Chain A
Amino acid sequence: MEMKPLTRLILGLVCLLVAIWLVAPTLVVVPMSFNENKSLAFPPQGFSWQWYQNFATNPEWSTSFLNSLKVASLVAVLATVLGTLAAFGLDRMKARPANLLRMLMLTPMVVPGVVLAIGIYAVYLDAQLVGTLTGFVLAHTILALPFVLIAVSANLEVFDRRLETAAASLGAGALTTFRTVTLPLILPGILSGLLFAFATSFDEIVVSLFITNPYLKTLPVQIFSSITRDADPTVAAVGTILLFATTILIGGGMLLLGRERKGRV
């Protein structure tokens, strides 16, 4: 059906408004990061790179950034392995117990973060895991696992298991079949699970605030404590860097997936 020009104009305007509303708060940090003065005022005054310099040179910032990278990388690997195995197990179980187990494993997505944080904190105090790398990785893995489980399960659902039967008839044992047929076909799900797991850990703040200590801070914790202490525009600089990094990461991922799909269809 052909749209009237006026209808089209109004629709376009509404879309633009919604887009601005969604993106503007994020984009505000970009000009703020170039502020000349040590304030988070908007609109900013003057132009300078000093806050980016500060991020790179101040050990408080660079250490927390490296900590976050380390934790998020370990979480991404651990959660992807565990989540993929779980998705497989659930896919090949009887429906009823599988659904129960699946719900159980997805609870970290539903339970309020604070509640989870209190619980983890209480356990970590006894286990002496507060402020440790192990503590962060374990806690974040709990939170990241559901994302991997969902992504891989979605792929397994459309995976044709009869291909495994065909592979067996051609001489492939269970492991070879998994490596050469199943894994390549569910790889998009595993990779997107990996990305989600990394992102979940990298910007996790609630649980992190509870289990952090002065010796081990992740970037979100550092941002939070910095902004509650003083109005340091380094926060805006970090925000801008993260904004572009994630845009490139996700955009690149989508481009790769799109190309792969085009190659096949």
Chain B
Amino acid sequence: MNPRAENRGAAIDLDTVSKAYGSFKALDGVSLRIEPGEFMTLLGPSGSGKTTTLNVIAGFTDVTSGQLLVGGKSVVGVPAHKRNIGVVFQHYALFPHMTVGRNVAYPLTLRGIAQDERKKRVAKALDMVKMGDFAHRYPSELSGGQQQRVALARAIVFDPPLLLMDEPLGALDKKLREWLQLEIKRIHRELGTTFVYVTHDQEEALVLSDRIAVFNRGCIEQVGTGRQLYDEPATLFVGRFIGDSTVLRGEAKSDGTGTALTVAGETVIAPRRLAGEVHPVMLLRPEKLAIRRPGQDAAGTNRLSGTIAEAIYLGSGSKYEVKLGDGSTAIVRSPLAGESFGLGEKVELCFDGADAKLLPDDSTADTTLT
């Protein structure tokens, strides 16, 4: 799809990788295949194991058990400085006693590359991140965004087949972050190397990634494209972590044709059922819910009543938080052309049962999200 440079990336295979600190399992049997040249984002809340996974790939952390292949070769036990992997850190980690130029030349000097060639490659890398005019500055003379761009140049100047990024935009403000996201995307396209990107920001993950691996409690919950994760979440945790969602919980009854859920006296039906002895919940995306005043004609098969708890004007439309009968909150997005509602107003929410995603309930999904 994207016009990409020749594929120079390394494949990564994690095979049931575990990392334990005493009795705490930071990683619990993680398996993941990253394709050559792919942009893979490791997404999850703090402490979910995404950074540990990155550190394991980089060689900063040893695995307790499991196998790790980079470019088809096992790197378990290989020290970080012999792995030839570029790393960009959240805290930039530029050497303060060297100019920008010397920082970027550092990995080339270590590899014994002659001065002429070194100069050329430093200039090329700095041009790629649009910092060509800053070679003689010291890191302390640069802004955070500029420092991170230099750090990126330093991590790609020696042509590593794999680039790891650990929340590289975490310390920057929103505008700068959005611009640098596009820059990183462009650089990935131009280089054609494998990128592994760690973030806790799901929007950032959606913007950047070919695929996203969602981490929770040291395990991977689901791997897929942004669309797959949004439309077909495999677990309640993934459904809630990616995008806005409304979760309906209640007394459930399943038969051959579908599942009925009774939420505070009102029953909604989805034409599906879950296999096994699990308690089902329904997950609904904001755009699948219609909002209207009570008593009007039903648009969908299911309806729930509630009161407006929060109305947010978004420019392109409005977002409402609606308090349902059981005290839970539903999130609805309505287009600008639609009716508008005030705080405290009684409303009805309608949806098509086919749009409701049935997922097994997971009480831990709520606590780990905050």
Contact = CB atoms under 8 A, between A and B. Distances in A.
Contacts of B140: 264-265
B60 A171 contact: no
A193 B155 CA distance: 35
B318 to A, nearest CB: 44
A169 B91 contact: no
Contacts of B158: 170-171
A124 B68 CA distance: 60
B31 interface: no
Given A162-B93, A185-B96, A265-B140, A169 B110 contact: no
Q: Is the interface of A mostly helix, strand, loop or mixed?
A: helix
B111 A171 contact: yes
B175 interface: no
B80 A168 contact: yes
B60 A163 contact: no
A264 B81 contact: no
Instruction: Classify chain B's interface size.
Output: 20 to 34
A173 interface: yes
A172 B155 CA distance: 13
A263 B154 CA distance: 22
A170 B107 contact: yes
A171 B93 contact: no
B218 to A, nearest CB: 22
Interface string A150-176: 000000000010110111111111001
Contact of A171 (B96, B107, B138): B107
B161 interface: no
B238 interface: no
Nearest to A163: B93
A9 B144 CA distance: 46
Interface in A165-205: 165-173, 176, 180-181, 184-185
A171 B58 CA distance: 11
B87 interface: yes
Contacts of A180: 106
Interface in B225-273: none
Contacts of A264: 96-97, 138, 140
A55 B306 CA distance: 100
Given A165-B93, A264-B138, A171 B87 contact: no
Contacts of B155: 169-170
Given A166-B87, A264-B138, A265-B140, A172 B93 contact: no
A203 B97 CA distance: 35
Nearest to B91: A162
Nearest to B102: A180
A169 B80 contact: yes
22 contacts: A162-B89, A163-B95, A165-B80, A165-B89, A165-B93, A166-B93, A167-B81, A168-B60, A168-B79, A168-B81, A169-B86, A170-B107, A170-B158, A171-B82, A172-B81, A173-B79, A181-B95, A184-B97, A185-B95, A263-B138, A264-B140, A265-B140
Interface of A: 160, 162-163, 165-173, 176, 180-181, 184-185, 263-265
8 A-B pairs with the lowest CB-CB distances in the bound complex, closest first: A166-B93, A169-B87, A170-B107, A168-B80, A171-B110, A168-B81, A184-B97, A173-B81
